[in-house]
Structure 1
Amino acid sequence: MAERDRIRLAGFWTRLAAQFLDAAWMLPLGIGFVMVGEFVQGGRGLSPGADVLLQFISALIILIFWAARQATPGKILLRLRVVDAENGTTPPWPRLVARYLGYIVSGLPLGLGYLWMLWDPRKQCWHDRIARTLVVQDPPQGG
């Protein structure tokens, strides 16, 4: 049986919608963190160390969701999962970290790495290819 018969690869618009849903809950967390930092710093802005800490916390939250649920909340709402491209299981931690860092690579050349999935036969962005992952869409439950 061909790979496409076993799994349904997530499309561009569904993945983009999941990103927007994730931004809807991550952005308020980030703003709250910045506001607390501003208060603690007496209105002088975040220190470089606090900015690095915010980036680290954001990355850790996403990595924990990927490891525990194979998806961030936005992907969960849209029935998407990040899976190992070879066997469909949860990718190991080093590959999840590579996938997260691969977002930088995907975004650098004017977002070409994100658009790559539009003509990739496995609908992989560059960060998916780097980490050897796929984003799949599960069928509706009870349907």
Structure 2
Amino acid sequence: MSFGDPNPNPNNPYGQQPGQPPQGQPGYGYPQTPGMPPQGQPGYGAQPQFAGWWSRFAALLIDGVIIAIPYGVLIGIGAGIGGGAGSAITMLGLIVGIGLGLFKLYKEGTTGQFIGKKALGISLLREADGQPLGFGMAFVRYLAHFVDSIACYIGWLWPAWDAKKQTFADKICSTLVVKTG
């Protein structure tokens, strides 16, 4: 029996049981979690408002400054001191920079927002269901931004005229940046 079979087999334990009212459609998939949108329906509604290029740029700039300040201060202090202590402080600066970058990916993957996106009321979500994409896909999207850069950085500008305001990395990873507030 296939989905939507007009003559279901009554002996099939997985099909609709005889004498029961129709269960509605689509009638497949996992049980829904209360408070979650039905499967196949975006969590941001049927028609999300896409974040514009300027808000995306401003969020990236805010996040970049937040990560760069402690990194730059520690690197500068390490370079100024020099020697063994300077090298240790420089190494600490590298660790802090990488740690903050990974924390940014974690927050964008689990909540859809880091400080810049939260301040501007935008969020990074999966295109399929409007949910946060997870740390792994946030990391893959970060790597996919390489594609935005290889053609004279045109991928970074693409949201300015794209219908869904997506970069090439967003298209590759099936993600959207939408207005949340």
TM-score (ref. length: structure 2): 0.63
Consecutive unaligned residues of structure 1, counting only runs of 5 or more, are none
Aligned position for 1:129: 171
Bigger Rg, which one: 2
> C-alpha displacement at 1:16, in angstroms?
1.1
Q: Is the 8 A contact 1:106 1:114 kept in 2?
A: yes
What does residue 61 of structure 1 align with? 103
Distance 1:108 1:55 in 2: 24
Aligned equivalent of 1:31, options 64, 72, 95? 72
Structure 1 residue 29: Cα displacement:
1.7
1:90-110 deviations in whole A, cap 9, x for unaligned?
113321111111222212322
Tell me the SS of whatever aligns to 2:63.
helix
Segment drifting more, 122-131 vs 74-83: 122-131
Q: Which structure carries more helix by proportion?
A: 1
> Are residues 46 and 9 of structure 1, via their aligned partners in 2, closer, same or farther at CA, if it must alter by over 3 Å?
farther
Q: Map residues 1-143 of structure 1 onto 2, 5 A cutoff.
A: 6-35=47-76, 37-38=78-79, 41-42=82-83, 50=91, 53=95, 56-139=98-181
Find the aligned partners of 1:113 and 1:52 in 2 and give their Cα distance: 28
TM-score (norm 1): 0.77
Structure 1 residues 33, 126: closer, same or farther in 2, change over 3 A? farther
The CA RMSD over aligned residues, in Å, is 3.2
Q: Percent identity?
A: 25
Letter paired with 1:74: G
* 8 Å CA contact retained: 1:19, 1:74: yes
One-letter amino acid of the counterpart of residue 20, structure 1? L
